[in-house]
Amino acid sequence: MPGFKGRCPARYETRIREVRRAKGFETMREFVAHLKYFSEPEVSRWETNEVMPSLDSAAYIAERLGCKIDDLVVRARKFGR
């Protein structure tokens, strides 16, 4: 958004934390070790919706967790509300 300063309000948010826990990965360290290619800080930023994973990253995570990308990313509240 031109002229926008600070963090852009999310139109989508991740459910990575909820899905990983449902799949039996209680700790971030255990989950990151399962994923192999991502760091704890990177996954933490995704789980807190600070940044969104790329489509490639989301597809890889979904594959490793045995779920769909739709399970990991959901539509947030409408923009501006």
Q: Per-residue confidence of the chain (81 residues) as pLDDT tens digits?
A: 454 455 555 578 899 999 999 999 999 999 999 999 999 999 999 999 999 999 999 999 999 999 999 999 888 765 554
Residue 73's φ and ψ, nearest 5 degrees, are -125, 125
State the pLDDT at residue 76. 76
Contact 28, 44 (CB under 8 A): yes
**DSSP-H helix ranges across the chain:** 16-22, 28-35, 40-47, 55-65, 69-72
Domains of the chain: 12-75 (1.10.260.40)
Q: Kindly give, in sequence order, each residue whose CB lies less than 8 Å from that of residue 7, ignoring residues fewer than 6 positions away.
A: 50
- How high is the pLDDT of residue 1? 45
Whole-number pLDDT of residue 11: 78
